[in-house]
Structure 1
């Protein structure tokens, strides 16, 4: 084999895996990273909450110990200790890992697109421009949308953000705005999101959870109105623009599409279906891969037979998709009637069953009970349909 591992894609998932491998007992393994992009841009921002320091603490550019939550009739500035809400700029992450990789002679970078991955008796080959590169295992981070079968749901988290600078101090620099639902919902889940860098500078995003994208003009009008009407800002300079789309889907993605290939990142289902948060789930998957390679000699870590948090994601998506209750009401009730630390653990899939019951007792039960039955019936119908087609 040419290499021990091939990593397809050099985004958050691919670079995180290479970095974690280099910090482990597998640091001397040979790795080929294939990605079509040669230049780096500050194309995204990752935010997450965490206790203590993480593996990329060196490039965390901002930390907040408080979060603002707003609904039309309620607001709160919540202390989130022992968590801190952290921000990593894409360009800082890329440059940090790129610099680290450049010092590792056992790691090779190749600019190009992988045409296909071909299974071999003892490994896998990545075909790039007609040439094959072989390895024991390949890790694919290139996400390709899949059809949504009956009984499943696909929504999108999509947003546009402006970094704005104001002539006078206007922002609470010690608290990020996590969700601000004081904006017209238009049948979707829409909220403002504010990450203040200081009292005069902040990233302000207009975020939508919905099945379909909207026009760029609609995001911009939404941003203008939110900044003027809710933030009360009439003079500002736009210094940077962000736009992103993250899948919110409970459609099972193939984690192991072939014997020597593992899908990682969003391609491996690491974007949380109910929120779109991805970065910390990537780090969790990466740690599992490295642990499995170290202990078992292969990357195919064990999956739980039943994942109740994934089921709850499906139920929430069904509630939203069928319009059983307004999404903003669900999220507002969740934060309003529970300790925020419990909610963050829930969103991180770290709550106990008792905590889950306590959380769900604070939201409208009937829409979720109906959604649970709909999800169960849809899955059974989908399974029966597949069995009939196979028969």
Structure 2
């Protein structure tokens, strides 16, 4: 048995866990603190792709596979092109992020990384399949069982997707422009779309995504990807070099209720993912910084994270899409075109003012939104 008690234990070496521990080792306050990372995986493969927008050059540029200055939103009536300036839309592959994080952690003598799957936490005690551990405070990225048991009590959808990294023999793509959403191909009457992220003239990630409550059969994702490539990109001759598939819960479930005296939930389990969009990577960066400052100032680590105002907006959004999933194309068309893309970015980054929020909400001027708004605000 591991008899050592650590100051902090981080369960899950994903974007949330690794960004938190990196913030810690970069701060002198944690120099003498013993930090334990527990994950069932070695984190040495490309198991996911993160995309996000940022203004100007940042620390993530060195890890970005590619970035774009221009984008397009496509529905069944029109193609809307937008200039992201001063933003850029960036792609980071998980293997590059894991490798960079592990290289930095290798020089931190106060960090221990152990491969183990965690079964249970009781107070400061952690029960793994291989050993037992102890920590003064635990940061846990595992989804609480309460979420699975009580999904029907909240507005919940699933963002599920499958993507192909493809390579063509001839130049096909514009590597300076990406397709954020293309609604011309949909699964039944659902909020479903395809996005295209070109990294060169002959290479791109093409992904079919759904925001609904019903997973597809295994082969159906492939059928939609193949149909999209043939019908809308006129592509018949290509090589699939890599495949990625996954799902992200989109819910107004109160994850924050699972924080306790010795445990703080992080990542999806801590409400770090915007339920209305599924974006999480930049949130992990921002919230990790907030947690470090909270700890240094003797506050609860989660204080100020996942603010109620934006969670109310997300609940309204999920309320509408849960009841009328067929409205997704119209809703996202309004969201990404009416207020302006920069206003949307600020809104999704939780940087917008109340007046900007009102502008965004008014752009979604549909009866279902106002019903959901008053139902949420006055309940």
- TM-score, structure 2 as length reference: 0.93
Whether the aligned pair in 1 keeps the contact of 2:168 and 2:238 (CA below 8 Å) is yes
Aligned-pair RMSD on alpha carbons? 2.0
Shift of 1:376: 5.3
Q: Which residue of 1 aligns with 2:250?
A: 248
Shift of 1:317: 1.0
Q: Which residue of 2 aligns with 1:331?
A: 332
Q: Which residue of 1 aligns with 2:190?
A: 188
Q: Which residue of 2 aligns with 1:127?
A: 127
Whether the aligned pair in 2 keeps the contact of 1:255 and 1:264 (CA below 8 Å) is no
Match of 1:213, SS?
coil
Counterparts of 1:326-365 in structure 2, within 5 Å, are: 326-365=327-366
Whether the aligned pair in 2 keeps the contact of 1:148 and 1:154 (CA below 8 Å) is no
How many angstroms apart in 2 are the aligned matches of 1:273 and 1:316?
9
Whether the aligned pair in 1 keeps the contact of 2:287 and 2:305 (CA below 8 Å) is no
**Please, which of 2, 6, 10 is the counterpart of residue 3 of structure 1?**
6
Match of 2:228, SS?
helix
Match of 1:172, SS?
coil
How many angstroms apart in 1 are the aligned matches of 2:239 and 2:130?
48
Match of 1:326, SS?
helix
Is residue 102 of structure 2 the alignment partner of residue 103 of structure 1? no
- Cα distance per residue 1:198-252 (max 9 Å; x no partner): 0110000001111121112110111011111111212111000000101111111
Structure 1 unmatched runs, 5+: 381-391
Match of 2:255, SS?
coil
Q: Single out whichever of 344-353 and 214-223 deviates more from structure 2.
A: 344-353
Shift of 1:194: 0.7
Whether the aligned pair in 1 keeps the contact of 2:179 and 2:197 (CA below 8 Å) is yes
Counterparts of 1:1-391 in structure 2, within 5 Å, are: 2-28=5-31, 29-38=33-42, 40-119=44-123, 124-129=124-129, 131-144=131-144, 145-148=147-150, 152-254=154-256, 256-296=258-298, 298-302=300-304, 307-323=308-324, 326-375=327-376, 380=379
Shift of 1:371: 2.0
Whether the aligned pair in 1 keeps the contact of 2:49 and 2:91 (CA below 8 Å) is yes
Match of 2:54, SS?
strand
Change (3 A) 1:297 1:269: closer
Shift of 1:32: 0.7
Change (3 A) 1:247 1:150: closer
Number of paired residues? 373
Q: Single out whichever of 146-155 and 362-371 deviates more from structure 2.
A: 146-155
Whether the aligned pair in 2 keeps the contact of 1:10 and 1:34 (CA below 8 Å) is yes
How many angstroms apart in 2 are the aligned matches of 1:104 and 1:297?
25
- TM-score, structure 1 as length reference: 0.90
Whether the aligned pair in 1 keeps the contact of 2:164 and 2:205 (CA below 8 Å) is yes
Shift of 1:280: 1.1
Structure 1: 4+ residue segments shifted above 4 A: none
Structure 2 unmatched runs, 5+: none
How many angstroms apart in 1 are the aligned matches of 2:29 and 2:190?
46
Change (3 A) 1:115 1:291: same
